[in-house]
Amino acid sequence: MVDIPARPYPYPLDPGHTALVVIDMQRDFIEPGGFGDSLGNDVSRLEAIIPATAALIALFREEGWPIIHTREAHMPDLSDCPPAKISRGKPGLRIGDTGAMGRILIAGEPGNQIVDALAPIAGEIVIDKPGKGMFYATGIHERLQDMGISHLVFAGVTTEVCVQTSMREANDRGYECLLIEDATESYFPQFKASAIEMIAAQGGIVGWVTPLSELQKTLA
Ligand code: TIU
């Protein structure tokens, strides 16, 4: 075990059993004209974490540790998207509707691709998830179990929606979870701050949080 300085106390990283999860760094959420923009959000905040997220990915690649990239994505016939999820959006800009980068949150569309700066490379796992959480209807738990993974380091967007949901799902499945706080972002600064506090509160009820620099320093 390697102790990483973190809140609420040092995170016991297990080098042979740790994977990085990069949540939904797709054009839909980060670039103008995508789903995030269509919901009325200022997407420029999210673009700002690309360098830190790229550095985190580079660190895991150097270590030779597994990397999982997720995308929030639905099948073109929307058979994996409950009506309740579709109906939340503004008419004309809902999941499956055509936006500036193709059909919104639909697998294979331009907007559904991970941003170029964080593109997966051969050997990395990419999962399309129909829910906000990474475990719902993806089979990823079984794959992680087969790989012997017990520790998950999280990055991506948005902190309080897909990242926090995925961390909670992971925590319930027994994974030790660490969120890299400068490699995650929200459209709402106060939601990011609150999500981070919620994760680390009560003795780390959902996991640990730390800046990228602590991980870099400890693994250098
Ligand atoms: N990936 C993710 O967080 N999906 C969302 O819909 N997030 C929002 O904050 N809307």
Is pLDDT of 88 > 90?
no
116 as an active site residue: the answer is no
118 close to 49: Cβ distance less than 8 angstroms: no
Looking at the CA of residue 163, tell me the nearest atom of ligand 1: 3
pLDDT band for position 111 (cuts 50, 70, 90): very high
Joined tokens for residue 184 = 């995650």
129 as an active site residue: the answer is yes
Does residue 157 line the site of ligand 1, with CB under 6 A?
yes
Of 18-22, 65-69, 88-92, the poorest mean pLDDT is in 88-92
pLDDT band for position 205 (cuts 50, 70, 90): very high
* Residue (of 203, 207, 73) closest to 153 by Cα position: 207
Which pLDDT value is given to residue 125? 98
pLDDT in tens, 5-53: 999 999 999 999 999 999 999 999 999 888 898 788 999 999 999 999 9
pLDDT in tens, 122-172: 999 999 999 999 999 999 999 999 999 999 999 999 999 999 999 999 999
Does residue 72 line the site of ligand 1, with CB under 6 A?
yes
pLDDT band for position 74 (cuts 50, 70, 90): very high
* Among 28, 81, 129, 177, the one annotated catalytic: 129
Is pLDDT of 200 > 90?
yes
C-beta neighbour count of 114 within 10 angstroms: 18
Distance, CA of 203 to CA of 127 (rounded, Å): 31
Distance, CA of 70 to CA of 22 (rounded, Å): 6
Greatest Cα pair distance, the chain, in angstroms, is 51
* Among 28, 37, 162, 192, the one annotated catalytic: 162
pLDDT in tens, 178-198: 999 999 999 999 999 999 999
Which pLDDT value is given to residue 49? 98
Looking at the CA of residue 72, tell me the nearest atom of ligand 1: 1
Is pLDDT of 89 > 90?
no
Q: Is pTM, for the whole model, over 0.95?
A: yes
**CA 72 / ligand 1 centre spacing (Å):** 8
CA-nearest residue for atom 6, ligand 1, is 161
CA distances from 109 to 25, 26, 116, 139, 160 (A): 14, 11, 14, 23, 25
User: What's the complex ipTM?
Assistant: 0.98
Looking at the CA of residue 187, tell me the nearest atom of ligand 1: 9
DSSP secondary structure string for all residues of 39-63: TT--THHHHTTHHHHHHHHHHHHHH
Which pLDDT value is given to residue 37? 86
Does residue 24 line the site of ligand 1, with CB under 6 A?
yes
